[in-house]
Every structure is written in structure tokens, then in C-alpha cells.
Structure 1
């Protein structure tokens, strides 16, 4: 019952290059592949999920998934770099399947920039295969350990970490976010990988700068509070459930320096289901309902 544009599946390599959309390559025809190579349309963002043709076909529900693998191999051989996404589905493409996928990406491909692993999100309106289930905290913890082990292998061979776990895994496993060095150059920031670490670090740096300026003239709190003009009206910060702890921690530090009226509103996703906790998938009506 949503607007029609939300049901259109975009798998356009041009938008992958321009905007970072993750594509499958399943519908990429040879002429388009040649055009990508000719004009060096790189890097592309590719949803891989698994290098096993059988597992990839199962997850994508199409026999064209094997064609997508061949296209990825061809583009890699032609020097086209890619940022890979693996949506982790417990019991399907984790465990030995994931180990095999990461080994293939390390030893059989030469132009993989990054590998981002994100958790599958099964909402209330999911009508796919019953084997596809959400990650548990235990699975999230296992995934984090797996990624750290493979980072060592990628560093040894390529000089960088390359493979990363999404922020959601650390939230789910209740583990602290890694330091900046974990994320290389934050290439998969828009995929929810490193967002929390970068936000916390930037906030910390800004607040330290404000306090440093205040101390120059003495009276740290007074000078810092005068550095920014606090809004006369109350502020409302809307977030999904997942990011609430991070925003709350930063907001407490801000309010220890600046005097302002701020409310942090964590909104459950009633449209897609409570297991969908990221801010970017909130609907307008979700926010309206809690206000």
C-alpha cells in the first residue's frame, strides 16, 4: 500500500557508480560490461552475498545470479574496482560459506576495494523464504570475530583491512565500536559501516576545540556556552532505535557545555516492523504516531 516508486528495483550500473547504489550485475549484458571497461566506470558497488553460485541464486531467487558472478569476474579481470556488500543471512551465507567467499575475494580477485558485511533485516511484511532470519547477538559476535581474523589476512596480502562489519553488528552484540584504523578510509560509510565511530570522533574533536578556545580566555563553561548561539526554540532530534545510545552519549557531552532545550526522540518502526531499527528506514507516519 505504499507509493509505486518504492516497488521499483533499481539495478543500474550508472547509478552504482554515481550514487553508490548496490547492484547485483545479474542483468548486466556484455555490451554494458564492455562500456564499463571502455570508459573506466569504476568503482562499482556490488551486492555479492556469496561467491557460491548455488547460495547466491537461492538468496536472490534467480538463476541469473550465476551470470552476475561471471560479470564480476570479468570486470575484475579488466581492472574495474568494486565495493562489495554481503548481506549476512544466518544459516545460509555465514559460517563456512562466508569463509569461502572471503577467501575467494582475497585470492581470486585483484580489484576489490572493500567488503562490507551487513545484517539481513526481516521486517513484518517479509514474504521470502522462511530460512531467512534476523541475526542474534551471538551470531553478531561471531561475525565480528570472523571479520577481525580476515582483516589480518587482507592486511598481510594487500596492506589494508578491506573487510568490515556494519555498525549494527556491534550494537547487536553490545560491543564497543572499533577505532578509526579499523575502517581504513570509511569507503562504505553510506552502508552503515563506520558511521557511529566517525560521528563520535567528530563530535569529540569539535567539543575539545570549543573547550580549548574557552580555556584561552578563562571560564571554560561560560566561554564555551557563548561560542554558539543556542536556538530560542526547543530542538527535536529524531532517530531510529539503533542509534539512540550513540546520540544520547554525544548529546550528554554537548549539554554539559551548551545550554539548550533538546529532546532526543527514538522512534520504533511501526511500518516495517520493530526489528527494523535504522533511522533511514523510518516512515513519516512512524514519527507522527509517537508525537
Structure 2
């Protein structure tokens, strides 16, 4: 096991030691390294003996003293050196099993690694964990973790995850709590399976585990047209989504009355499907599960409102801008806003709220023909579907805004492996990405000076156990 160095930070201890990308970090003070967690704890010592293997195969020992809080100053190719631990389940609702064939290999990884949970907030089921894992969690106090509960009924959890160890959840949570580890929880809600009375049971059980249980996120099962599992799962519709909202709101009211926190949060899709207003920002308690799609729309709206409020004399500036347009007899700027079908009405509402900016904004809600039209979030849109939706619009607008969440970190490519640069080249006008409410406001009000991700990395990460990818506000 080793950590291969990808990048050396300027002015760092690693640069001073003349380490280079490609070097392999093998040991620190005699400790073999499994991941960056081991590196962090081993490197906390002030006297360091470090074994490194260079690309030519030669090994070298570095001995040096350092300050207690001084870091090595490197970035590794992977956070885990012994490989990401894969999932032991065969979940009825697994989204990875529903990915289209012949897509990039990374989309087919079923990760279920407690280290990735601690480091990056990935959800774990804990079905592949043994006593040594819990001992290490206790030793390093790896807290908080993110746990995919799905339900607390042991028999039903075994059925949902199709794993014989899935019924051990209660005992495993007891171990985390005995180690004073906190955890956020998630329930992927499957209609007519773990909803209704089973959801009641799960919520009661998790609420009783406070304060170690920090939150509950409830997300709807995602079903694509590539699902081949013979078990009949149903998508939520307006009526069933409304039932979930009403059921959870009763618990939310109890929680807020008891300790001023909502604690239980619903994914935006439930409110949008049910035609209900999104809860106010205070109901999200600082958005503890934002990366899981909880409160994304409300957070986007809050960012947009903050940008409006922060704009210097925004109303006067917008009015002056409009008057100048009239004096110059210029045509209004025409923009097209691309998004998933569920969030498009909200994007239109925000654009209309600042219509004085003079833009003519055309909404382009994109049906997801790739995964299936029941998948309506922006983060799962492909370049092909967006280009098809833009076919009749591109030549009639001055610019196009697309959701940053549809791009993958680093290479800026879409799920169907079309690069952002190739996507832009296929359109006859300027294309920019939007990842936040602030960016959306600035794109609409200052298009000439606005810039999206460009050549920088977009914020995207696949989470197999979350039923969806991490999703941006568009």
C-alpha cells in the first residue's frame, strides 16, 4: 500500500524535501499507510521518519523534525491507498445498477467505504464493516459519519438491501454511539415499501438516537429506463409525494417545538412533485445535508436574494440599465436558461423577479431522455439531451446558461463524455455555467462580465448510495 503523490504545494515541506509527483509514500514512523487518515495522524508527530519510493523503484528514508501542526503539503492521487471498499449489497433501488451501459467506469463503482464517509460525506450502509473498522473509527474518532439507514425494521432492511448483515443496523449504531461518534442519516424512500408506517417507525427510532444522530434526510427513489431489476418499484407522484410531505411535516413541527431544530429534512423533489411551497431557510438549520440534495432549491433562492440585496443600489442600477438600453435603442439581451424539468419553474420565477435588467429570458426545461423522463434533476442531464432541447433556441439567443452540476470535476465533461468545450462548439452562441444563486443573478444582470467554470473544475461527485448524484441548484 502506498500513496502516490499527484501534486506538491509551493513552499511546502514536501517541496523542501524535493519530493516530486509520482513519488510513493510508503511509511511514516514505521506505520504502513492505508489512506490519508493514517497520513494525517502519523504526521502529527514532531519527529518524522518517512519511507518514500521514487518512480525508478529506489526507496529513500527521510528523517526530519517539524512543527506539530506542520503538514507535508502534497495532494495524493486517491484518498484511500488500498482501494475504495465496494458495496456488499444488492439494493432493490441501487442507482448504479440503473446507469446506461458503456458509460465511463467511474459511474459503475459501488462505493461503501466508511473512510469516504468521514472524509467526503459519502453515505455508507455499514453492511461490509467488521469489528476492526469500528475500533479504528473509535481510535481516530472519525466523526461525523453519514449512514444510509433506509429503514430501521431489520427484516425490511435485509429485503431492501438484499444483504444478510443489513439487519444489524441497530447494533452498529450502538457501537458508533459508544465511541461517541455522531452521524447524519439518510432514507431512500421507496413507495409502498419503506414509506407510511415503516417511515413512522424509522423516524421514531432515529429521533430517539439524538444527540448522536444529527439529522435525517429523506430522498425519493430514482428510477431510470435502464433498470432491469424485476422487483416492481414505483416513482412518487403528486398524491404520494403530498402524503410524505404531510407525514414528515408533523414530525418537523414536533422537533422544532422540542428543541428548535427541524432535524428531519425532505429532498426538494417531494415538495416540487406535490406542488407545495419549499420550507423557509430556517427550517433547514444551516443546510447540514445540502450535498445530498436537501434544501438545494431553497439555498439557491437564498443565494439569489442575497446577491440582489448586496447589489449596490440594485433597483436604481437596473432602472438606469434599462433607460440606457432605451436611449441606445439596443435590442434586449436574450438568454436561454437550461435546467432539469423540476427546477425550471423556480428558475423562471427568479428571472422574472429582476426582469427590469432588460434580458429576455427563455427557459429550456430538458426532458431526460437518456435516463428516462422520471429523472428530472439537473445533475443527471447529458450533453445530448441538452443539445436536443436547444436545437430550436440556440440561433435565437445571445447566450445560454447551463447547470454546472451536470459536469464532472476536473475534466469538465458531461455524463455522456462530451466535453464542455465540444458542447460549446456545437452551439452558435456563448455558453456559460451556473452553479449557485449568486452566479445566476450575476449572469442575468451582468452577462457581459460574467464567467462560469471555464477551465476550472466543476462541483460534481457521484454518490452511489444516495440514489442521485450531488446536484447543483439548477
Tell me if TM exceeds 0.5. Answer: yes
Q: Would the alpha carbon gap of residues 160 and 39 (structure 1) be closer, same or farther in structure 2, given more than 3 Å must change?
A: same
Is the CA contact (8 Å cut-off) linking 2:322 and 2:358 kept in structure 1?
no
Structure 2 residue aligned with 1:116: 217
Matched residues in 1 for 2:323 and 2:141: separation?
Answer: 50
Q: Would the alpha carbon gap of residues 223 and 39 (structure 1) be closer, same or farther in structure 2, given more than 3 Å must change?
A: same
Q: Compute the displacement of 1:244 (Å).
A: 0.4
Matched residues in 2 for 1:260 and 1:64: separation?
Answer: 57
Q: Secondary structure at the match of 1:67?
A: helix
Structure 1 residue aligned with 2:345: 245
338, 363, 382: which one aligns with 1:283 = 382
Q: Compute the displacement of 1:202 (Å).
A: 2.2
Structure 1 residue aligned with 2:282: 181
Is the CA contact (8 Å cut-off) linking 1:161 and 1:184 kept in structure 2?
yes
Q: Compute the displacement of 1:61 (Å).
A: 1.6
Structure 2's unaligned 5+ residue stretches are 1-100, 325-331, 392-474
How is 1:74-85 mapped onto 2 (pairs within 5 angstroms)?
74-85=175-186
Larger Rg: 2
Structure 1's unaligned 5+ residue stretches are 227-231
CA-based RMSD of the aligned residues comes to 2.4
178, 194, 202: which one aligns with 2:295 = 194
Matched residues in 1 for 2:340 and 2:323: separation?
Answer: 29
Q: Would the alpha carbon gap of residues 69 and 26 (structure 1) be closer, same or farther in structure 2, given more than 3 Å must change?
A: farther
Matched residues in 1 for 2:183 and 2:207: separation?
Answer: 13
- Residue deviations 1:91-118 (CA, integer Å, cap 9, x gap): 1101111111111112245411110111
Q: Compute the displacement of 1:127 (Å).
A: 2.2
Matched residues in 2 for 1:252 and 1:169: separation?
Answer: 24
Structure 2 residue aligned with 1:150: 251
Q: Secondary structure at the match of 1:257?
A: helix
Q: Would the alpha carbon gap of residues 223 and 131 (structure 1) be closer, same or farther in structure 2, given more than 3 Å must change?
A: same
Q: Compute the displacement of 1:50 (Å).
A: 0.2
- Residue deviations 1:266-286 (CA, integer Å, cap 9, x gap): 211111100000011112222
Structure 2 residue aligned with 1:222: 320
Structure 2 residue aligned with 1:271: 370
Q: Compute the displacement of 1:156 (Å).
A: 4.7
How is 1:40-189 mapped onto 2 (pairs within 5 angstroms)?
40-189=141-290
Choose between structure 1 and 2: higher strand proportion. 2
My pick for the range that moved more, 3-12 or 166-175, is: 3-12
Q: Would the alpha carbon gap of residues 202 and 108 (structure 1) be closer, same or farther in structure 2, given more than 3 Å must change?
A: closer
Q: Compute the displacement of 1:51 (Å).
A: 0.5
Q: Would the alpha carbon gap of residues 57 and 16 (structure 1) be closer, same or farther in structure 2, given more than 3 Å must change?
A: same
Choose between structure 1 and 2: higher helix proportion. 1
Normalised by the length of structure 1, the TM-score is: 0.88
Normalised by the length of structure 2, the TM-score is: 0.56
Matched residues in 2 for 1:73 and 1:224: separation?
Answer: 62
